[in-house]
Amino acid sequence: MQIINEGSIKLKVPKTGKISKKMEVFYNPVMSLNRDISVLLLDSLDKNNMQIADPLAASGVRSIRFLKELNKGKIKKIWINDYSKNAVRLIKQNLALNKINCKNNKKIKINNEDANLFLLNSSGFDYIDIDPFGTPNPFLDSACKRISREGILAVTATDTSALCGTFPKACLRKYWAMPKRDAIMHETGLRILIRKIQLVGAQYDKALVPIFSYTKEHYMRVFLVSEKGKNKVYEILKQHGDFNNAGPIWTGNLWDKNLCNKIYKNAISHEIFKNNKELLEFLKTIKYESKIDSIGFYDLHDISDKYSIKKLCKKEEIKNKIKKLGHQASDTHFKGEGIRSDIGINKLVDVLKNK
């Protein structure tokens, strides 16, 4: 074991060279950005007194960061659960390490159950964070059942090879849609994941609307707000469709624009995050791309190959030219060589060919 720092907390985690499911208790330092964004998102919502569930807590890092870093009044009660005895032992040690008293503390409940039983035996939560190793599929049903009205469901998927089309059959089986392995596969995969979660919610008359979505390294992440009602569910289902010979996918918005503004604004002024350049750049890119309602983005290298464009000018220049034509254009967090825009492909090719 070793003691490390993440965000504002200390953490005891297994010493290991390789991040794998076989770790005694799972901890992946690369996922700190996933937790940073969760903290910022919860702080940016107009919600207080939340009942929070962390059903797959592992070392407890996420919950402990919530307890230490969220604005006062955000948490009414937090449930920290893992079916592994070793994990629960470590969660208790990590709470103590951060001077959080969990005995006789009405705000904190530690559980050692199967995540589905834990969720189903509960009376519901305002925030559920499904952050597994691999696919979130085994937990979607109970999470959708127990997310409260206007509650937020957060879902991570690390099985991106299925969602992005390395294994199309695996995607069909697990996510009920055909992926496409091409230049924009990460966005297609994310939209396939969103639709799958929405279909599970639809069964329980819950319309799950994405408010913040992204892919990073080898995972995908989405936050959805749950709205109750049959008509709202139809509105969601109407926005499922094929795109670019893949799908069905979610064709609606990936972000709530105002929330993206707020998250960025909170990040740049937050003690813990204001010097985290990678995080701030990432959130800034999303803030700008969230303003453009387009499905998919343009990969400039891919397009210049396909249309035999010999020399590309700088991305900044290309974006400016697109804007001069009256369209929107921004970078995209999905890819460095990508541009999100509402311009059509033919017009874009003209721009790239300097016509």
The distance of closest approach from Cβ of residue 340 to ligand SAH in the complex, given in angstroms and rounded to an integer, is 29
The distance of closest approach from Cβ of residue 75 to ligand SAH in the complex, given in angstroms and rounded to an integer, is 17
Closer residue to ligand SAH, CB minimum distance, 154 or 249: 154
Query: Cis before residue 55, ω within 30 degrees of 0?
Result: no
* Bridge partner residues of 341 (DSSP): 329
The distance of closest approach from Cβ of residue 282 to ligand SAH in the complex, given in angstroms and rounded to an integer, is 18
Residue with tokens 């592992």: 58
Closer residue to ligand SAH, CB minimum distance, 57 or 185: 57
Closer residue to ligand SAH, CB minimum distance, 19 or 312: 19
Strand locations in 131-238, DSSP E?
A: 147-157, 206-216, 219-228
The distance of closest approach from Cβ of residue 283 to ligand SAH in the complex, given in angstroms and rounded to an integer, is 19
- Spatial distance between the Cα atoms of 351 and 181, rounded to a whole number of angstroms: 26
Which residues of the chain form contacts with ligand SAH (CB under 6 A)? 26-27, 31, 35, 56-59, 61-62, 82-84, 87, 114-115, 131-133
Closer residue to ligand SAH, CB minimum distance, 59 or 330: 59
Count of Cβ atoms closer than 10 Å to residue 107 Cβ: 12
- Spatial distance between the Cα atoms of 77 and 146, rounded to a whole number of angstroms: 15
Closer residue to ligand SAH, CB minimum distance, 155 or 177: 155
Residue with tokens 């460095």: 336
Closer residue to ligand SAH, CB minimum distance, 31 or 339: 31
CB–CB of 167/194 below 8 Å? Answer: no
Closer residue to ligand SAH, CB minimum distance, 117 or 295: 117
- Spatial distance between the Cα atoms of 160 and 218, rounded to a whole number of angstroms: 6
The distance of closest approach from Cβ of residue 139 to ligand SAH in the complex, given in angstroms and rounded to an integer, is 7
The distance of closest approach from Cβ of residue 219 to ligand SAH in the complex, given in angstroms and rounded to an integer, is 11
Phi, psi for residue 216 in degrees, rounded to 5: -155, 145
C-alpha distances in Å from residue 211, one per residue of 21, 100, 221, 286: 30, 31, 11, 12
The distance of closest approach from Cβ of residue 41 to ligand SAH in the complex, given in angstroms and rounded to an integer, is 14
Cα angle vertex 260, ends 214, 264, to 5°? 100
According to DSSP, residue 165 is labeled T
